[in-house]
């Protein structure tokens, strides 16, 4: 089952964010907190402007993004948790 | 009894969302929660722009959609529960 | 006593919404709840746009409409309860 | 003492709204509730649009109007209670 | 010390509002309540429109005005209480 | 350390507002309350309009201003308390 | 791991703000409070205007800024705390 988000919404799969300490060690994040990092797996057709035109988004499918932990709507697709965000809720793009 | 939604509103019939696990098994969702997936059974004439013109919607009758579980207004038509949403409350369209 | 609503407001008389079950039986709604269906008995001259012009409404006198049960203002006309809604509070038009 | 309301504000004198029952009898409203019907005794010069121009109001001095019971600001003029409303708070005009 | 209000703000001195009863008697208002009537002692240069231009106000220095009792900001000038309002908080102008 | 405020923000140093009574005596304000009068020590480059242009401010460095006691953000510069306000939070300019 | 903020967002690293007293002594701030001063380490492509165009920001990478202590979203990058702000949350730029 695929989901096509509408307008400026994007579909995101949360990814674990392994914490690399200064010394190069990887520490797991607190298990009780969902990661606020994810990969974009689908994007809408663009932001709807006030005049009814649709403007392209700045994010792309495959982008790794950061978002606020309270952002978006949780949905389930084939039993897997996904997140639907608005592009404006994306704090930044991770450049590896 | 048919309902014609106004402007950017859409009429939705909730549908059960069978959960397919990774292994192919179907698991019922929690019975206490209404599905947040539905089929569009009618749409309004379009979104009313600030200048008074009406812009076509991006959704179509028959689309299978996802929405937030707190979205919309519950109504009853011939004893059946239906939901009236604004198009902006549609998180995405399910592409089978 | 007649009421002429202003701009995008409409005057509505609630009507009972007999529930027709799948088997064709009519069941009364819960007596403790006011119907959220009504008939439009008067409409305003149109929606006031930001530039000061007035745009025609999409609803007509005589339309049977659905609305949210918390919508509008209750008024009394000659001892009868009426409801004043904004057109934007109309969820849809009932097409018999 | 006369009051000239500013812009889209109107000055209103509440009037008793005798309730006429279906059978033609007049019943007093509950004494504990102020009437939400009134007569316009003065109006402002017009609604201030975003571009700074002033647009004429749709109500006139002498109009009998209905309004929500929580609308407006109570003032006293020569010891008499009056109400200052914005035109947008007028639900409708009573046509006798 | 003089105060020059900015943009659409006005500087107001509260004045006692002697209540004249129908019979011509003057009754003092409740002592525990500040009067919501005042005289304008200074006005700003005009309302700032969205396009950055400044539009003239409809009130003048010397106008006697009514305002909501919760409107504005209290300030002290040379130990005297004054009120700074926005023009939009003026309910009406008293015409003697 | 100098601070350059952004856009329509201004940097303000609170100043004591000696209260001059009618008889010419100076009374200290209540010690428990911060003065809501200050001197502008820096201003931003101008207000950002919706179209992206920057409009000049009406206040100048050196202006003595009044503001609401809840306005703005407190900051510390070299251990001294300063206040950052938006120009719209300035109630008026003191003209000595 | 680098983060590219979107639109008018900026990525900020908090920096300690040593307090210099009038006499030239440096006093540590209260340890229990995070500094509300930081250095910009990345900026978005610009503010998205209502017409869909992108306007350049007034801040630059490397700017030392002040912000309200409740502003922005905390994120972790490689185990280090960073802050994502909108440019509008920047109170001012520190000029050394």
Q: How many residues does chain C have?
A: 96
Short-list C81, C88, C76, C94, CA closest to C7:
C88
Query: Could you report the per-residue pLDDT of F17-51, keeping only the tens digit for each?
Result: 655 555 555 555 554 457 799 999 999 999 998 77
Place of tokens 């610009």: G46
Strand partners, C48: C54
Q: State residue B79's pLDDT score.
A: 87
Q: State residue E78's pLDDT score.
A: 87
Q: Compute CA distances G91 → B65, C63, F35, F46, G38, whole Å.
A: 43, 54, 21, 13, 11
Q: Compute CA distances C83 → B23, C5, D73, whole Å.
A: 54, 11, 23
Position E23 confidence tier, pLDDT thresholds 50, 70, 90:
low
* Average pLDDT of every residue of chain D: 86
Query: Could you report the per-residue pLDDT of G22-70, keeping only the tens digit for each?
Result: 555 555 555 445 779 999 999 999 999 877 889 999 999 999 999 998 8
Strand ranges inside chain A, DSSP E:
2-5, 9-14, 19-20, 26-27, 37-43, 47-48, 54-55, 64-67, 73-77, 80-86, 90-95
Residues A58, G84: C-beta atoms closer than 8 Å: no
Cross-chain CB nearest to F75 (options G47, G50, G66)? G66
Say what the alpha-carbon torsion angle D44, D46, D47, D50 is, to the nearest 10 degrees.
-130
* Average pLDDT of every residue of chain F: 86
Q: State residue B46's pLDDT score.
A: 96
C84's enclosing H/E stretch is strand C80-86
Is pLDDT above 80 for D96? no
Cross-chain CB nearest to G4 (options A47, A51, A93)? A93
Query: Could you report the per-residue pLDDT of C29-71, keeping only the tens digit for each?
Result: 554 467 799 999 999 999 998 778 899 999 999 999 999 988 9
- In which region does residue E46 sit, left (phi positive, over 0), alpha (psi from -120 to 50) or beta (all else)? left
Place of tokens 């210099």: G20
Burial class (CB in 10 A: 0-12, 13-18, 19+), F83: buried
Give the C-alpha separation, F21 to F25, whole Å: 5
Helix (H, G, I), strand (E, B) or coil at B38: strand
- DSSP secondary structure letter of residue D73: E
Is pLDDT above 60 for D24? no
Report the residue of chain D nearest C2, measured CA to CA.
D95
Please provide the DSSP assignment of B46-77 as one string. Answer: -EE-TTS-EE--S--TT-EEEE-TT-SEEEEE
Q: State residue C94's pLDDT score.
A: 95
User: What mean pLDDT is predicted for residues C16-28?
Assistant: 56
Helix (H, G, I), strand (E, B) or coil at A24: coil
User: What mean pLDDT is predicted for residues E36-43?
Assistant: 96
Give the C-alpha separation, C1 to A45, whole Å: 52
Is pLDDT above 60 for B91? yes
For chain A, percent of residues with pLDDT exceeding 70: 81
Q: State residue B37's pLDDT score.
A: 93
Give the C-alpha separation, F44 to F65, whole Å: 16
D70 contact residues in C (CB cutoff 8 A): none
Nearest chain B CA: its distance from A61 CA (Å): 15
Q: State residue B31's pLDDT score.
A: 45
Q: Identify whether the C-beta of residue F63 lies closer than 8 Å to the C-beta of residue G4.
A: no
Q: State residue D53's pLDDT score.
A: 86
Higher pLDDT, residue F64 or G19: F64
Q: Identify whether the C-beta of residue C21 lies closer than 8 Å to the C-beta of residue C32.
A: no
Going by C-beta distance under 8 Å and a sequence separation of 6 or more, which residues neighbour residue E58?
A: D6, D7, D45, E87
Is pLDDT above 70 for B1? yes
Query: Could you report the per-residue pLDDT of B10-36, keeping only the tens digit for each?
Result: 999 999 765 555 555 555 555 445 679
Tokens of A79: 């039993």
Give the C-alpha separation, C49 to B49, whole Å: 10
Q: Identify whether the C-beta of residue D72 lies closer than 8 Å to the C-beta of residue D12.
A: yes
Query: Could you report the per-residue pLDDT of E63-84, keeping only the tens digit for each?
Result: 999 999 889 999 988 889 999 9
Tokens of C24: 């064709």
Q: Identify whether the C-beta of residue G19 lies closer than 8 Å to the C-beta of residue G36.
A: no
Query: Could you report the per-residue pLDDT of C66-77, keeping only the tens digit for each?
Result: 999 889 999 988
Going by C-beta distance under 8 Å and a sequence separation of 6 or more, which residues neighbour residue G11?
A: A92, G3, G5, G40, G41, G42, G43, G82, G83, G84
Strand partners, E64: E39
Q: Give the least confident one: A79-83, C77-81, E27-31.
A: E27-31
B42 contact residues in C (CB cutoff 8 A): 92
Contact residues, chain D to chain C, C-beta under 8 Å? 17, 19-22, 27, 36, 47, 49-51, 53, 55, 58-59, 66, 68, 87-88, 90-96
Is pLDDT above 90 for B94? yes
Tokens of F26: 């100076």
B92's enclosing H/E stretch is strand B90-95
User: What mean pLDDT is predicted for residues A29-45?
Assistant: 80
Q: State residue C96's pLDDT score.
A: 73
Q: State residue A31's pLDDT score.
A: 45
Q: State residue E24's pLDDT score.
A: 55
Is pLDDT above 70 for D81? yes
Q: State residue C63's pLDDT score.
A: 98
* Average pLDDT of every residue of chain B: 85
Give the C-alpha separation, D58 to D62, whole Å: 12
User: What mean pLDDT is predicted for residues D3-22?
Assistant: 83
pTM, rounded to two decimals = 0.84
Position D19 confidence tier, pLDDT thresholds 50, 70, 90:
low
CB contacts < 8 A, F to G, total 59
Give the C-alpha separation, F62 to B45, whole Å: 58
Q: Identify whether the C-beta of residue E66 lies closer than 8 Å to the C-beta of residue E44.
A: no
Q: State residue B18's pLDDT score.
A: 57
Residues F95, E45: C-beta atoms closer than 8 Å: no
For chain C, percent of residues with pLDDT exceeding 70: 81
Going by C-beta distance under 8 Å and a sequence separation of 6 or more, which residues neighbour residue D89?
A: D67, D68, D71, D72
Is pLDDT above 60 for G90? yes
Tokens of D3: 């009051």
Strand partners, B11: B42, B84
Q: State residue F25's pLDDT score.
A: 52
Is pLDDT above 60 for G11? yes
Contact residues, chain C to chain B, C-beta under 8 Å? 17, 19-22, 27, 36, 47, 49-51, 53, 55, 58-59, 66, 68, 87-88, 90-96
Going by C-beta distance under 8 Å and a sequence separation of 6 or more, which residues neighbour residue E30?
A: none
Higher pLDDT, residue D34 or B8: B8
Short-list G36, G47, G30, CA closest to G74:
G36
Q: State residue E35's pLDDT score.
A: 73
Q: State residue B90's pLDDT score.
A: 97
E49 contact residues in F (CB cutoff 8 A): none
Give the C-alpha separation, D70 to E69, whole Å: 16
User: What mean pLDDT is predicted for residues A46-51?
Assistant: 87
Give the C-alpha separation, D94 to E14, whole Å: 37
Tokens of G46: 């610009």
């Amino acid at each position: 089952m695929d989901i096509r988000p509408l307008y400026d919404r994007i579909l995101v799969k949360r990814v674990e964010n392994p914490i690399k300490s200064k010394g190069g060690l990887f520490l797991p994040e607190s298990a009780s907190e969902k990661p606020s990092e994810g990969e974009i797996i689908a994007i809408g057709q663009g932001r709807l402007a006030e005049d009814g035109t649709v403007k392209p988004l700045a994010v792309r499918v495959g982008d790794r993004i950061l978002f606020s932990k309270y952002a978006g709507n949780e949905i389930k697709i084939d039993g897997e948790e996904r997140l639907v965000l608005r592009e404006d809720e994306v704090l930044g793009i991770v450049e590896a």
